[in-house]
A and B are shown apart, each in its own frame.
Chain A
Amino acid sequence: MSTDSQLKELALHDISVRFGGLTALDNVSLRVAPGRIVGVIGPNGAGKTTLFNVICGFVQPTSGSLTLDGRPWRPRPHHLSRLGIARTLQGVGQFAGMTVLENVMVGARHRHAESEALAALERCGVDRYASAYPGALPYAIRKRIELARALVAKPRILMLDEPAGGLDADEIAWLGALIKATGTTVLLVEHHMDLVMSVCDEILVLDFGKPIALGSPEEISADPKVTEAYLGAAA
């Protein structure tokens, strides 16, 4: 999908986010190298979506900084698409009053928006729903449409926020193959461990906003701190 020269390196340096007395992220650093698939996992409330919101500019970090291709970067939501960064949302977030095709066309950044949107829908196996309205479609189909809307912009960094939520085993296998086939930099927040372990090159584990482990899937699955965070100290 993207050539190496188009890929971007994204890095977070000591990012902290506090909401009043609650620390949502506590000194999180992460380097997402071009072409790598990096997973962010952790129990509910670990700060995974907050991390995504910082990268998207929806949440300003209390301290710390971000760099894109080594240069200081202050993200703004409506600049992401221009920079080649696309994000899917946990809650799907489609425009209910617009057809599936129109939903995907909004994400297109090229002149031939309609043909590119149809190609993205076809790639995600949902092109037959192009003229339907998303509200009437099953959740798993809407997840695929959300993915098509992110892919239509031909992103250099693809941020996937729980893309496997609500999908069955076959659909998750399809999703894993699609993520690998994108060939682009991917940042993946996901609870479904089989998917994370099978597609990610590197995994960051958060617990109550703190980074407790960073490594390959093998290193993470063997790390007792990760087991403790998921299953409790008694495990």
Chain B
Amino acid sequence: MSEFIYLTFDGLSRGLVYAAFALALVLIWRAARIVNFAQGAMAVSAVYVAYSVTNATGSYWLGFAAALLAGLALGVTVERVVMRFVDHSSPLNGVVVALGLVLILQGVLGIVYGNEFLPFSTPFSRDAFEVGGVAMLSRYDLFVIAAVGSVVIALTLLFTRTAIGLRMRAAAFAPDVSRLLGVSVGGMLTLGWALAAAVGSLAGILVVPTELGVHPTAMDVVFVSAFAAAVVGGLDSPIGAVVGGLIVGVLLSYVSGYIDVTVAPMAVLALLVVVLLGRPGGLFSSSKARVA
């Protein structure tokens, strides 16, 4: 029982990181109808910025803030310089350009920083507290919960309580109608990319120090899990992304703990297949299943 409790908490903590990353994918999908396959490479670029700033200043928190700012800047740059000029008549064009961005970003990072895993420590202990002899959460897990929870609450408030959030939603639903109502659709798109990239960077800086370290491909496996989370939840649904992230996190934790860590990726793919067969739009999607 104690193992089950530990694996559950560990899975939820890890799932929150997937949830944040899935949320970043959903934000861009809702705004631009693009699955941003470059999200992982963009996030790891921001983590390298954090690594440099932390090494230069000795402060994790300056590095943390630098990663979020780098994410915002990268999001704006990718949208304004690259994605805005992509022909969106076919959804494949954006995907191909995003894949090209992955190669460029990972190539440049490899040239600048090398292809070794660079050590990056967490700001809090990862040793789990014990309650009644059962290992629960670590201080770092609590930090992850607070960070991702704050982002989810902030985004919810942004989209439901502010004029800018309302306009971002309107621009995503019907760009032409939104323009007639005075919404700067291009501006909302840029803001969407910036927010998504910052949220992706947050996920990156939370997860990379818990893995092997900073590396140009450090987010590749996380991307696969987070993409599965976003699809399981429904690419259109921010709530779905959060729930999908938690489901994937807990599933990975159980499979790694009870079976074998090498089987975990297959479990995620199996989950993906089951959900896509049963509910192709995802668990929280309002759209109808494709029938042909």
**A residues apposed to B, CB below 8 Å:** 56, 58, 77-82, 86-87, 89, 93-98, 102, 105-107, 109, 113, 149, 153
Contacts and interface: CB of A to CB of B under 8 A. Distances in A.
Contacts of A79: 182
B180 A106 contact: no
B182 A153 contact: yes
Interface stretch (B16-24, B163-171, B191-199, B225-233): B163-171
B180 A77 contact: yes
Interface in B146-183: 163, 166-167, 169-170, 173-174, 176-183
A78 B182 contact: yes
B174 A93 contact: yes
Contact of B180 (A81, A95, A96, A113): A81
Contact of B181 (A58, A96, A97, A107): A107
B185 interface: yes
Contacts of B170: 95, 98, 106
Contacts of B177: 89, 93-95
25 contacts: A77-B176, A77-B179, A77-B180, A78-B179, A78-B184, A80-B180, A81-B181, A81-B182, A86-B180, A87-B180, A89-B180, A93-B177, A95-B173, A95-B174, A95-B177, A97-B169, A98-B170, A98-B173, A105-B166, A106-B167, A106-B178, A106-B181, A106-B183, A107-B181, A153-B182
Contacts of B163: 105, 113
Contacts of A102: 166, 169
Nearest to A78: B179
Nearest to B179: A77
Range, interface on chain B? 10 to 19
Contacts of A96: 173
Contacts of A89: 177, 180
A109 B169 contact: no
B185 A78 contact: yes
A88 to B, nearest CB: 9
Nearest to A102: B166
Contacts of A105: 163, 166
A112 to B, nearest CB: 11
Contacts of A56: 180
B176 A106 contact: no
Contacts of B183: 78, 106
A149 B181 contact: yes
A89 B163 CA distance: 23
Nearest to A83: B182
Interface string B92-116: 0000000000000000000000000
Given A78-B180, A78-B182, 10 more contacts: A89-B177, A93-B176, A95-B173, A97-B169, A98-B173, A106-B178, A107-B182, A109-B182, A113-B163, A153-B181
B281 to A, nearest CB: 14
Contact of A106 (B166, B184, B286): B166
B169 A82 contact: no
A107 B182 CA distance: 7
A83 B90 CA distance: 34
B254 to A, nearest CB: 34
Contacts of A95: 169-170, 173-174, 177
A58 B176 CA distance: 9
B174 to A, nearest CB: 6
Nearest to B187: A78
A59 to B, nearest CB: 12
A56 B182 CA distance: 11
B156 to A, nearest CB: 15
Nearest to A95: B173
A121 B163 CA distance: 18
B171 to A, nearest CB: 9
Nearest to A109: B182
A31 B86 CA distance: 40
A100 B29 CA distance: 24
Contact of A80 (B167, B174, B182): B182
A96 B236 CA distance: 13
Q: What are the 10 A-B residue pairs with the smallest beta carbon separation, nearest first?
A: A81-B182, A77-B179, A95-B173, A78-B179, A93-B177, A106-B170, A107-B181, A106-B181, A78-B184, A87-B180
